[in-house]
A and B are shown apart, each in its own frame.
Chain A
Amino acid sequence: MIRFILIQNRAGKTRLAKWFMNFHDDEKQKLIEEVHALVTVRDAKHTNFVEFRNFKIVYRRYAGLYFCICVDVNDNNLAYLEAIHNFVEVLNEFFHNVCELDLVFNFYKVYSVVDEMFLAGEIRETSQIKVLKQLTTLTSLE
């Protein structure tokens, strides 16, 4: 099960924080800082997986952004690694060449994308075509 999804830049600014467990606000802040410290020190030769408390972080770096998914230790690493990429490709398509600023100015839309693809800590929909079709429908609405 996914415990949370974080998108952060190198400087540690959070661009998305999606929580699938109930955390207090100060706990959230602590987790954000810990994850940032954990993944930014790793280089390309390292794995895309890090143990984190009693969970693990599966992460991938895109330019200056780190996409991190916190899952249970026995969850399938590669499946979540590719779930990140699938998500990134959807964002890229949806925002026509996504960049960090898109995530800032359209933060409320990014949540919609997440809800289409991940719900209740599980993968909801994996078809890019289906997700994008749904998102296009939603955008056309008032």
Chain B
Amino acid sequence: MRGDAMRGLAVFISDIRNCKSREAELRRINKELTNIRQRFRADKTLDGYQKKKYVCKLLFIFLLGHDIDFGYMEAVNLLSSNKYTEKQIGYLFISVIMNSSTEMKQLIIQNIRNDIQSRNPIFINLALQCVANIGDKEMATAFTQEIPRLLISGDTIDPVKQSAALCLLRLHRTSPESLQLNTEWTARIIHLLNDQHLGVATAAVSLIDALVKRNPDEYKGCVNLAVSRLSRIVTSSYTDFQDYTYYFVPAPWLCVKLLRLLQNYPPPDDASVRSRLNECLDTILNKAQEPLKSKKVQHSNARNAVLFEAINLIIHMDCESKLLVRACNQLGQFLLNRETNLRYLALESMCLLATSEFSHDAVKKHQETVINALKSERDVSVRQRAVDLLYAMCDRSNAEDIVQEMLTYLETADYTIREEMVLKIAILSEKYAIDYKWYLDIMLKLIRIAGDFVSEEVWYRVIQVVVNRTDVQSYAAKIAFEALQAPACHENMIKVAGYILGEYGNLIALDPRSIPMIQFDLIHSKYHLCSTTTRSLLLSTYMKFINLFPEIKQYVQDILRHDSNYRSSDVEIQQRATEYLRLSEICSATVLATVLEIMPPYPEKQSPLLVRLKQKKPLTEAETSSEPFAATTANPEDGPKLAESTIHLNQPVQQQQNGLLLSFDTLESNNSFNDATSYSLPSISSPAPTSSTLQSAKKLLFKNSDIIFENDLLQIGIKVEVAKHILGVEFYYGNKTNSNLTNIANTIKVTGDLESDIRFNIEPIKTGIDPKAQIKQSGTIECLKEFQELPIINLSFYYGNVLQKVDFLFPLYVNKFIERAEMDSNSFFLRWRNLDKPGQECQKIFPAKYPMMHDDCRQKLEGFGWSNLTGIDVNADNFCGAGILHTASQQIGCLYRLEPNKQAKMYRLTVRASKDGVANRLVELLDDEF
């Protein structure tokens, strides 16, 4: 192999290595560059060998980190050489140095084409490898026919097929739209999985995997072939595949690739394929139990590479409980293995198993071992996986232990993982808290142990939980007070305790150890050590104290008046001190009580902690986004996702700041805050707007548009349009105020039977309404069955930072689905007589509620939905009519007769309907409407 060595190159490399200093190296390189430049310029008759040698030297210089700005043409010239070694250096130079240059691209493509079309497989391979290294859109277009043909042609030799497959993969990745793969080739590409040559199969799986991801249906035939190929490998002896056996493991890489390919699809539908696959997986698990055939780590690594991929597939299919439990037991053994790699990988895989219902309990058996790993592993990344697994396996039964262990570990944990651990502890202790006192104990301990790593979301959340749960507020005040008594307090602790005491300090004020003045002194003893943000928060606490404890008002005012606050160089502090002081001086106790009222409950949304935890990973990407990985084409989907996540991250924080820290200020600066409370309080406190809405609801009974809700802030109108069993609806939300309504959310609640009787399909509501403006929300409602109850609409929104909640009945009556039916008297009476079974008829006599006007009655009956047939009843004062009640599954015929008796001021209403119970319901709806 040393025969073709370029002596000049070797000498040059030796010279460089012998250079004692960077300067000497630079001098040597410059000398060489000058020499090469002269050779290229002067000597047009350089032979191939010399050209190759100089190009190779340039390449070496480039790899040392120097720019090369000439020699490109000579390199391209080498491509047309007939000698392999010259061609190879030419292609190498192009692949390494010229990958993004566009000059000479056409020339290069022409050379590649020449080689691909040559009969020399060595040259074809070189050309294909070059395309696989630097292929781009232009090459994809240029070779869209030739390379696939090489791949599927029967004449192509195996090594060329291997290169062609991966070449296509490269082009597919860089330029999927330019690479048009003929669908006629699909079957032949898939069949490469069956190729006799395992190397061809190995290369082809990677291509097929990518094509499957683009078009799973077109390539689904690969499942059967992959399963049978896999089966043939795992059931064979290692001696069957001499070339492809690696340390007694037959074709481990091909197995791994096949197992990954199968993870693109659900478990096979075909029972025989499925059982064959299960057998494969079973065999792989069995082999893991066999004694090792070699002490070499290569043997166990190769075997376990296949095993871990098999476990991934088992988890992906998530349907064979036996396999899942076996996998879990196998991983459990690995947890005790002396190979760190295996322990690490076992922890990682178990995390996935913990999420499957079949294996969750099996994973939990290893809790002790995992906790030990947390304590004893030397590699932080292993400990990190142990934390992940504990988090994943946590449920109500073991939460207390796991949280305790994580807290203990937190004290000594690596700084790099503390913040994430804090988040996880906070999430688990809230999620699985049976007793919220326990939750609060944990959280305060968390802040004490790892205060620096407690992100804002975490302590905001503590406060949200306390505000929303009245049962723990006095306990919260008590332990917050105790926590502050520690000689050294983390600032996050001061924030939490300050906020809680400001809201609920009165709940512990009767205890002689925590009377108002002691609380105030205790908090204020920390004040001077705090940052301005914390001080701002504490000033709000002080202001709340004035309301809670009027007896200490004077002391608070002294603090507010103090120069360090009243004339603070920090504008926020100064403004708060000034405004709070003024407020405390001029406002009556009742006004203060309104302004400083305790915070209303927070709307329950997804915990911001979970949002934060999910964002943690992409966030680290975001930091590097300006750097290479994100800038490349391989992950085009990363960009928008990142942008999105950063936006999300900012939003909740800001909102919470509004709620938690700045609420006083915004209320103050907003002059309408008095209005706000007078508007909001009734609507929050009166849970029954029903009486008023019910009346209007009755109106909707006869109309197709109406106002269905109204208060001082908001008016909600509705318009409906019937088409058989589907009702088109439009809700109109009108903002009656002069400020924005924000964060609007609504749900339509259907309970009990109603859930299966009506189906709503309503678009999401817009989240805000401008002052005096209206928004529309439309959708459809489907009647599945004749229903009885009314749905409830829950609406929440913010008005001037105060949460407003409105619940009201949605006056959707079943008659909205009645379609009028016209008929003559014969058919009317025929039908009437046919509906004579007991459940089909309902008759009621009731007094007149309104003046007995013939026209009003007619309007109401027609508005109700059914027809008003004249000339059927002999008495012209009476009303008769018919309608069809449409539901998704049936049509219910309904007939009625309404007989007014003006002397008695009574009505008699008779309804007959083809389905039991319907007549009753319709009479119920009408018996107080005339």
Contact = CB atoms under 8 A, between A and B. Distances in A.
Interface of A: 1, 3, 14, 17, 21-24, 27-31, 42, 45-51, 53-55, 76-79, 81-83, 85-86, 94, 104-105, 107-109, 111-112, 115, 119-127, 129-130, 134, 137-139, 141-142
A99 B66 CA distance: 25
A38 B666 CA distance: 49
Contact of B378 (A28, A46, A51, A141): A46
A46 B379 contact: yes
Contacts of A77: 305, 308, 341, 345
B256 interface: yes
B162 interface: yes
B467 interface: no
B281 to A, nearest CB: 16
Interface string B145-181: 0000000000000010011001101100100000000
Given A122-B203, A139-B4, A142-B4, A105 B253 contact: no
Nearest to A28: B628
14 contacts: A14-B63, A27-B627, A53-B621, A53-B624, A76-B308, A78-B301, A79-B253, A81-B301, A107-B59, A120-B170, A130-B199, A138-B88, A138-B122, A142-B4
Interface of B: 1, 3-4, 10, 13, 17, 56, 59-60, 63, 65, 83-85, 88-89, 92, 95-96, 99-100, 122, 129, 132-133, 159, 162-163, 166-167, 169-170, 173, 198-199, 202-203, 206, 242-244, 246, 251-254, 256-257, 260, 298, 301-302, 304-305, 308-309, 340-341, 344-345, 378-379, 381-382, 617, 620-621, 624, 627-629, 631-634, 638
B632 A45 contact: no
Max chain A C-beta neighbours (<10 A), residue from B10, B173, B256, B382: B256
A111 B92 contact: yes
Given A23-B628, A82-B246, A141 B379 contact: no
A77 B243 CA distance: 23
A-B pairs, 6 with minimum CB distance: A27-B628, A78-B305, A122-B206, A141-B84, A120-B170, A127-B243
Max chain B C-beta neighbours (<10 A), residue from A55, A85, A137: A85
Contacts of A47: 340-341, 344, 379, 381-382
A78 B341 contact: yes
A117 B287 CA distance: 27
Given A47-B341, A53-B624, 7 more contacts: A49-B341, A54-B629, A82-B298, A120-B170, A121-B170, A122-B166, A130-B199
A50 to B, nearest CB: 7
B246 A120 contact: no
A24 B617 CA distance: 25
Contacts of B345: 77-78
B100 A78 contact: no
Interface of B is mostly: helix
A85 B298 contact: yes
A126 B56 CA distance: 28
B589 to A, nearest CB: 58
A74 to B, nearest CB: 8
A45 B199 contact: no
Contacts of A17: 63
A2 B363 CA distance: 32
Contacts of A107: 59-60, 63
Nearest to B159: A134
A14 B65 CA distance: 10
A124 B253 CA distance: 10
B340 A46 contact: yes
Contacts of A142: 4, 83-85
A124 B100 CA distance: 24
A28 B10 CA distance: 26
A51 B344 CA distance: 12
A105 B13 contact: yes
Contact of B169 (A28, A120, A130): A120
A22 B100 contact: yes
A77 B305 CA distance: 7
Contact of B302 (A29, A78, A104, A108): A78
B243 to A, nearest CB: 4
Contacts, number: 183
A30 B17 contact: no
Contacts of B256: 76, 79
B85 A49 contact: no
B301 A119 contact: no
Max chain B C-beta neighbours (<10 A), residue from A22, A23, A79, A121: A79
Contact of A108 (B92, B169, B251, B341): B92
A61 B890 CA distance: 74
Contacts of B244: 126-127
A56 B532 CA distance: 41
A104 B620 CA distance: 36
A122 B381 contact: no
Contact of A104 (B13, B305, B621, B632): B13
Contacts of A124: 162-163, 166, 199, 202-203
A16 to B, nearest CB: 9
Contact of A126 (B59, B95, B163, B253): B253
A88 B257 CA distance: 21
A124 B304 CA distance: 21
A11 to B, nearest CB: 13
A105 B298 CA distance: 29
A6 B163 CA distance: 22
A54 B621 contact: yes
B797 to A, nearest CB: 39
B762 to A, nearest CB: 38
Contacts of A48: 341
Contacts of B301: 78, 81-82, 85
Contacts of A50: 381
Contact of B632 (A23, A81, A82, A120): A23
Max chain B C-beta neighbours (<10 A), residue from A42, A77, A78, A130: A78
Max chain B C-beta neighbours (<10 A), residue from A105, A124, A134: A124
Contact of B246 (A22, A125, A126): A126
A53 B625 CA distance: 10
Contacts of A81: 301, 305, 341
A81 B246 CA distance: 13
B634 A21 contact: yes
Nearest to B249: A82
B8 to A, nearest CB: 12
A18 to B, nearest CB: 9
A125 B624 CA distance: 33
Contacts of A126: 198-199, 202, 244, 246, 251-254
A4 B723 CA distance: 62
Nearest to B244: A127
A24 B633 CA distance: 12
A129 B243 contact: yes
Given A22-B632, A125-B202, A82 B379 contact: no
Max chain B C-beta neighbours (<10 A), residue from A3, A21, A137: A21
A21 to B, nearest CB: 5
A79 B309 contact: yes
A55 B253 CA distance: 20
Nearest to B197: A130
Nearest to B100: A22
Contacts of A119: 129, 132-133, 162-163, 166-167, 203
A107 B629 CA distance: 26
A45 B320 CA distance: 36
Nearest to A42: B379
A54 B4 CA distance: 43
B388 to A, nearest CB: 12
A104 to B, nearest CB: 6
A22 B252 contact: no
B573 to A, nearest CB: 41
Contacts of B382: 47
B363 to A, nearest CB: 20
A81 B297 CA distance: 11
B239 to A, nearest CB: 14
